[in-house]
């Protein structure tokens, strides 16, 4: 009977954990192991910085187009994330200056396609929900015309926040959570 109870509890825990997958930058302090990647890796001069606040993560900086620049990002460490059990993504954020996007990478090679959710500027807290199969695929910042599939969702290896407006100037992006359900 004891073995049956353990198996049953394991099954319940598995189903419970599949309901949602969340990065909680506020109370959960997810993002403490993320890092800023500026366009300096390609010679650019943009600057970004991130700091944990009491109930959010605050990402800010300056985008420069000089020296082939144009972006800054804040990214999670590489890890295998099978997002195929989920159908929706929800993001709570606010932003000023330049638009940002949530990026889902399937490769460590930056020139291979990834999927993005572009987020409109919003000085007030905003919640955006999207079906995962509506996420657009991009290659080197250009839309390919394809969307996310369950197969691609099963191969996500990193999630991040990246500036997306391709114009110079200052920006702020504050995020509470990213939730998959």
* Residues 171-180 pLDDT 10s: 999 999 999 9
Per the structure, the complete domain to which residue 94 belongs is given by 21-180
68 falls within a domain: yes
- CATH code of the domain in which 118 resides: 2.60.120.260
Does residue 105 form part of some domain? Answer: yes
Q: Hey, what are 140's tokens?
A: 């080197």
Q: With respect to residue 172, please indicate whether it lies within any of the assigned structural domains.
A: yes
Model pLDDT for residues 27-67, shown as the tens digit of each residue: 888 999 999 999 987 889 999 999 999 999 999 999 999 99
CA distances in angstroms from 162 to 75, 84, 174, listed in the order given: 8, 23, 12
Q: Coil, helix or strand for 106?
A: coil
**Residue 41 placed within a domain:** yes
CA 173 – CA 49 distance, rounded (Å): 10
How many domains in the chain?
1
Give Cβ neighbours of residue 45 (< 8 Å, ≥ 6 apart). 39, 64, 66, 67, 69
Instruction: Note whether residue 8 is domain-resident.
Output: no
Q: 124-173, pLDDT tens digit by residue?
A: 999 999 999 999 999 988 899 999 999 999 999 999 999 988 899 999 99
């Amino acid at each position: 009977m004891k073995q049956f109870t353990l198996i049953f509890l394991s099954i319940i825990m598995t189903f419970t954990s599949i309901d949602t997958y969340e990065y909680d930058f506020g109370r959960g302090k997810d993002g403490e192991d993320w890092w800023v990647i500026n366009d300096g890796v390609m010679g650019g001069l943009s600057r970004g910085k991130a700091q944990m606040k009491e109930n959010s993560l605050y990402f800010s900086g300056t985008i420069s187009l000089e020296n082939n620049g144009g972006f800054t990002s804040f990214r999670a460490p590489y890890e295998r994330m099978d997002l195929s059990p989920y159908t929706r993504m929800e993001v709570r954020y606010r932003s000023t200056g330049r638009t940002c996007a949530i990026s889902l990478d399937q490769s460590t090679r930056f020139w291979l396609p990834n999927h993005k959710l572009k987020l409109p500027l919003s000085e007030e807290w905003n919640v955006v929900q999207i079906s995962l199969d509506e996420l657009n695929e991009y290659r080197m910042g250009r839309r390919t015309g394809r969307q996310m599939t369950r197969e691609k969702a099963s191969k996500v290896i990193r999630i991040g926040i990246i500036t997306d407006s391709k114009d110079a100037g200052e920006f702020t992006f504050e995020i509470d959570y990213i939730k998959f359900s």
